[in-house]
Amino acid sequence: MDVQMREAAQKNFEVENSIETVDAARDAIYQYDELENKKILNEKPWKEDPNYFKHARISAIALLKMTIHARSGGSIEVMGMMTGKIVGDAIVVMDAFPLPVEGTETRVNPQAEAYEYMVDYLSTLQKVGRKENIVGWYHSHPGYGCWLSGIDVGTQSQNQQYQDPFLAVVIDPNRTISAGKVEIGAFRTYPENYKPPGSQESEYQTIPLAKMEDFGAHASQYYALEVSHFKSSLDAKLLELLWNKYWISTLSQTALLTNREYASQQMLDLSNKIAQAESSIGASVSALSGARSIVADRREEPRESELDKIVRDTTKIASEEIHGLLSQAVKDRVFNNLKTRIN
């Protein structure tokens, strides 16, 4: 069959089955509408309402790039920038790129070191037709959860003052591997002296003792956005096809081995917390003697919730270990002891 015939056959096939590898509706998010974007940048609806942005939509490749970069830093914090656009009350992150900056938790505004790199990189993006602007920054918290530290809050507040709209994203690569799912959070800070509406209760996170204070002190200065992901139709198709070659690495992964250091750190931290809790339990119990029942009632609360937290931490560690063991058990059943089983 020569080339022209093949071409004709292909065109026929496509027409008959109206197959498109790019779905106009579903992939509309990939179109960059300059006018639309200019309009919303002029209106700036987020200036009046600090809670304006409620959603963060992150594309598949942005997520992968950030996760891989975070993991490649090991136990050192790394950071990068994200490009994208605004759609309604959502910040859409289309792509991300790393910055050659390390140890980002030691100073406010670490991106200042890499301004030249950033501007350079942006110009290269513009040249290949990617017209999106920078919409935020991401950095990693290896092993200690997705939240904003005091320094992060400082950096993000500055960003929101001078470069709004801006989003802060945090990734924990260690937890990602040990839990088997991506640990990611998206945040925006409140302006100073702003009281958030209603009491915000955070879903509990396991945070190492050393960082607990930092977390608590600044927890009310920012809020989290709902994170969702998207991918193009071609991405989806390729991912489906990828599975045909991917199942090998699924079977062979050894989460327990790769995360051994992280797991032992968790245990150590847990033991410190228990020691702390033990001393505080002793103290408040002796304080109870002679106290009236009402007072005892109130003092009961903090002691209980501390133990509660410890229980949750241990359960989390235990479940992560069990997760790792599950895959080991599967491997064992399938591959080991073949001689004995054959005989």
Partner 1 sequence: MATVAEAGVSLVIPNAAYSTDLTIGLHPLAILNISDFYTRAHLSRTDLLGGLIGKQTGRDVSIEHTFEFRLADGQIDEDLLNKKLEQFKACFEDLDFVGWFYIPLQLPYEPTEELIPVHQYLAKFHNDTPPLLLILNPSAEAVMNTQSLPITIYETLFTETGKPQFVEVQHRIDSFEAEHIGVLYVAKQDAVVTAEKKDTTESSLAGRGKAKEKMKKDEAADTMTSSNAEEIVSQLNSQANAVKMLHSRLQILQQYLDYVQSLPDEAVSVADLEVLRQIDGLVGRLSTENFGDVAQGQQIDGLLAALLGLVTKGVKYGVELNAKRQMLDVQRGPAAAASTGPPIMTERLSRYYGRS
Binding residues for partner 1 restricted to 64-83, rule: CB under 8 A? 64-65, 67-72
Number of residues binding to partner 1, judged by CB under 8 A = 132
Please report whether residue 36 would count as binding partner 1 according to CB under 8 A: no
Of residues 75, 161, 272, 319, which one binds partner 1 by CB under 8 A? 319
Which is nearer to partner 1, 108 or 256 (by Cβ)?
A: 256
- Count of beta carbons in the 10 Å neighbourhood of residue 234: 13
Please report whether residue 115 would count as binding partner 1 according to CB under 8 A: no
Please report whether residue 275 would count as binding partner 1 according to CB under 8 A: no
Q: Where are the beta strands (DSSP E) in 2-121?
A: 55-59, 78-87, 90-102
The 194-223 contact track toward partner 1, x by CB under 8 A, reads: ---xxxxxxxxx-----------------x
- Count of beta carbons in the 10 Å neighbourhood of residue 216: 10
Please report whether residue 119 would count as binding partner 1 according to CB under 8 A: no
Tokens representing 70 are 């975070």
Please report whether residue 300 would count as binding partner 1 according to CB under 8 A: yes
Read off φ and ψ for residue 142, nearest 5 degrees: -65, 105
Which is nearer to partner 1, 41 or 242 (by Cβ)?
A: 242
Please report whether residue 42 would count as binding partner 1 according to CB under 8 A: no
Read off φ and ψ for residue 109, nearest 5 degrees: 60, 55
Binding residues for partner 1 restricted to 131-160, rule: CB under 8 A? 146
Distances (CA, A) of 260 to 48, 113, 257: 48, 34, 5
Please report whether residue 35 would count as binding partner 1 according to CB under 8 A: no
Read off φ and ψ for residue 164, nearest 5 degrees: -55, 150
Please report whether residue 224 would count as binding partner 1 according to CB under 8 A: yes
Question: From CA 217, how far away is CA 146, in angstroms rounded?
Answer: 15
Please report whether residue 308 would count as binding partner 1 according to CB under 8 A: yes
Assess contact for 135 and 167: CB atoms under 8 A. Answer: yes
DSSP state string for 216-237: HHHGGGEEEEEEEEE--HHHHH
Report the nearest approach of partner 1 to the CB of residue 134 (Å).
15
Of residues 177, 188, 214, 221, which one binds partner 1 by CB under 8 A? 177
Region of 33-41, 103-111, 160-168, 296-304 interacting with partner 1 (CB under 8 A)? 296-304
